Amino acid sequence: MPAKKPVILSLTKMHEAGLGLLRESGDLRMSSGWDHDTICREIPGAEALVIRTQGEINAEVMDAAGPSLKVIGRHGVGFDHVDIEAATERGIQVVYTPGANMESVAEHAISMMIALSKYFMPSIEALKNGDYFARTKWMGRDIKGKSLGIIGFGRIGKRLGEIAYQAFDMKVQYTDIIDMPANSIERAGGANRVDLDTLLATSQYISLHVPLDSSTRRLINTETLAKVRPDCILLNTCRGPVVDESAVAKALDEKRLYGYGADVYEVEPPAVPGHPLIGRTDNVILTPHNAAQTEESLINMAQWMAEDVLRVLDGQTPKYPVNNPEAVAEARLRRGL
């Protein structure tokens, strides 16, 4: 009799590159929803849980799964909606896909920089309304040679710095809590490490690439925005709550900020109407959290996540763990799992 396949509950659809792997090696089941009650009702007996951005995976959800749950696979980079401490205490490995969407998110940030600098959005709107002669209404600027400040110089931040320097000869500076290897600094044109206040005060473009935690929540607020140059364009492609959106709207209204581009929001999906930034066109460009929605990124995220989930189910060490595999193993032993 063939061995029983492990039950894998997925809250999300994904590229067949990952689904196929999970389906081949497990009993793949698609959740009927990602609200708390539905997850708790459908997760009992699952050995793996696959998630994207939806659903809060807290201790109650993990306890509803019972002792069978071994791994939570995050299709993507951020994991602020997963209680990592609770997972570790219960011997549950959490894996994610750092670097899988590096190129697409970095390119998205560059695209927003260009679009805001060249007034793409209001120009497109004017042409749609038949106002061809609005072509001279806005005076754009080139990004070549301008200063770029990157807050969070991880994989995506470094890639953005490389593109900005190598393609546009931008002057790259960054701030990060971790020392960067020399080769990554060199590829970004000798990127200069500075403190946050210096970066805010001297950058014509600022791009955010930090995880969401207690130290970064509302990092960009009324106080920090008061330190930026009035010709600064601010970009957020990491996590929405890193930015106080009302403070950004006020800074734009008072001409203390040149432009704002975002792919993420304080609350997702954002409230429409009533959102302080959605609907603006002159100095704002917003996209619906789809910076990583490219074929290449979706293949990478689905495949890397599925491979790591299956590694854990097979008793192997994952390639991209969020929590410490040794701590997870110790917790499982302690709990007799």
Domain 7-100+296-334 indexed as CATH 1.10.3720.10: no
| pLDDT, tens digit (0-9, with 9 covering 90-100), for 36-53 | 999 999 999 999 999 998
Q: CATH 1.10.569.10: does it fit domain 102-286?
A: no
Could you say which of 24, 268, 296, 330 is catalytic?
268
Active site residue 268: yes
Residue-level pLDDT at 195: 96
Structure confidence at residue 2 (pLDDT): 61
Query: Which member of 23, 29, 256, 289 is catalytic?
Result: 289
pLDDT (mean) for 289-294: 94
Residue 118 has what pLDDT? 97
Q: What is the pLDDT of residue 194?
A: 95
Q: Mean pLDDT for the chain? A: 94
Cα–Cα distance list, 282 to 12, 137, 176, 277 (Å): 35, 11, 31, 11
Q: Nearest to residue 278, comparing CAs of 291, 290, 264, 293?
A: 264
The reply to whether 81 belongs to the active site is: no
Q: What sign has the CA pseudo-torsion 131, 132, 137, 139?
A: positive
Bridge partners for 29 per DSSP: 9
pLDDT tens-digit map of 47-80:
999 999 888 999 999 999 999 999 999 999 888 8
Distance CA 87, CA 64 (A): 13
pLDDT for 1 equals 54
Q: Which residue has the higher pLDDT, 283 or 186?
A: 283
The answer to whether residue 239 is catalytic is yes
Peptide bond just before 269 cis, omega within 30 deg? yes
153-168: pLDDT as tens digits: 999 999 999 999 999 9
pLDDT grade, residue 184 (50/70/90)? Answer: confident
Residue 279 banded pLDDT, cuts 50, 70, 90: very high
| Percent of residues, the chain, with pLDDT higher than 90 | 89
What's the predicted TM-score (pTM) here? 0.88
8 A C-beta contact, residue 55 and residue 80 = no
pLDDT of residue 250: 98
DSSP state of 134: G
User: Which residues are CB-neighbours of 200 under 8 A, at least 6 positions away?
Assistant: 149, 206, 224, 227, 228
Catalytic residue among 159, 239, 280, 311: 239
Mean pLDDT confidence for 229-254: 97
- Domain(s) of CATH 3.40.50.720: residues in the chain: 7-100+296-334, 102-286
